[in-house]
Amino acid sequence: MGKLGVSIYPERSTFEKDAAYLDLAHQYGFQRVFTSLLEVSGDQEAVLGNFKRVVAHANQLGMQVMIDINPGLFKQLGISYDNLSFFHELGAWGIRLDNGFTGQEEAEMTRNPFNLKIEINMSQGTSYVDNIMSYSPKRENLLGCHNFYPHRFSGLGEDFFKQCTAQFAKYTLNTAAFVNSHEATFGPWPTQDGLPTMEVDRDLTMATQMKHYVLMDNIDDIIVGNAYASEAELKTMHDVFNAEFPAIAIDVADDITADERKVLFESLHSYRGDRSEYLLRSTMTRVIFKDLPFPAHHTVDIQRGDILIDNVGYGQYKGETQIALKAMPNDGRVNVVGRITPTELFLLDYLKPWSQFKLVPASH
C-alpha cells in the first residue's frame, strides 16, 4: 500500500506553522514529508538549524522526510556523494536528487551505511534509471518521484507520465507524484500556479485529482506539492486513497425519482465484463430492484457520460443501470437520470471491466 505525503518549505515559513501542519497531516494518516534544500542562502547555521528542528518534529510523529537537493548544494556544503552523514544528522529519511550524477554515484549512494533512501527524478523519460540499475544499486533504497510544475501549462501530459512511470515500475521501485492544493499559497519558489505533476490535474478538485491517481493505479505515493493544504483537502485525500471502491461524482437530472436515487446511490456498481462499445452495464440493479416500477420519463437522446436506468418498457432489463460510453438515440425505453459531472467525465476512461465502483452526487 502506498503512502500520502505533504510538503513543507521551512525557509519560507515558521517552525510553528510547519509543525502544526505536520501534526494535522499525521492525524489523517500521512506518512511522507517532502521538503527542499535546493539552496542555502544567508546564515548557513541558522537555516540548517531551523531545518533540523522541523525534520526532528516530523520524525517524532513517525513521518519520513525526503529532502530535495541538487548537486550544486553538495559543493556549497562540502558534501561528497560517498559520505552522506550530513543528511543523516539532519534527520532525513532520504534525499531526492533534483538533478542526478552519472548513474554509478547514485548506485553507490544507495549502499550508504545509514540506509538513507535515494530518490531520483522520474519525469525525464531517459534511460537514467536503467543506467543506475546497471550499477547494481541496493534496490530497496532506490525510489522514484516525479517533478511538480509551478508554471501553468508546463505539467506533464498523461501519456508521457505513464511512459516515465513504466520505466520505474519494471524494476518494482517505489514511485511518487504530486497533487495540487487549492488552499495552499506557496511552494519553494516565489511564483507558482499550483504544484501538480500532471497538467490535467492543476485545476481539478483534490477529490478528482486523487481519483485520477487511484484509478490509473501506477503510482505508490501521492504528495501535496504546495503548502499548506486545508484540513478538508487532507481528509479528502485520506478518504479517496483509502476508499474500498472508487466513487464517480454525478449531476442528477431534475426529475429523478426516489427509486432511481436508491438505485444509483445505494448500490455497489459492477462493470459487466462482456463489454459493449456503447454502454458500461451495471446489471445487478435490475435484480436487486426488480419490484420497483421505473416508469418512463426524461427519455431524451443519450450522450457520453449520461447515467441511464432502463424503464418499464425494456421488459426484463427494467432497473438495469448503465453509463453511456457513446452518443445513442433513445427509443423511449431508457431514463436519463443524470450524467457524470463534467470535471470527472475523463475518469470514465479508467473504469475497467469487472471492476466495482460507486456513484455519488456531485457537491457543487
C-alpha cell at 308: 441511464
Specify the 3-state DSSP secondary structure of 300: coil
The burial class, CB within 10 Å (0-12 / 13-18 / 19+), for 74 is: middle
Q: How high is the pLDDT of residue 363? A: 84
Query: Which among 251, 322, 257, 329 is positioned nearest to 295, based on CA atoms?
Result: 257
pLDDT of 20 reads 98
Separation of alpha carbons 105 and 95, rounded Å: 13
CA distances from 151 to 155, 156, 192 (A): 8, 11, 6
Residues 308 and 56: their CA atoms lie apart, in Å, by 54
pLDDT of residue 364: 66
33: left (phi over 0), alpha (psi -120 to 50) or beta: beta
pLDDT at 306: 98
- CA distances, 282 to each of 232, 307, 323, 359 (Å): 32, 11, 8, 11
Ranges of the chain whose pLDDT falls below 70: 364
Span 65-88, pLDDT tens digits: 999 998 788 888 888 889 999 999
In the chain, residues under CATH classification 3.20.20.70 are 4-243
Q: Which fold has domain 248-361?
A: Cyclophilin (2.40.100)
Domain spanning 4-243, CATH class: alpha beta
**Is the separation of the CB atoms in 34 and 4 below 8 Å?**
no
Residue 293 identity (one-letter amino acid): P
Domain with CATH 2.40.100.10 in the chain: 248-361
Tell me the pTM.
0.95
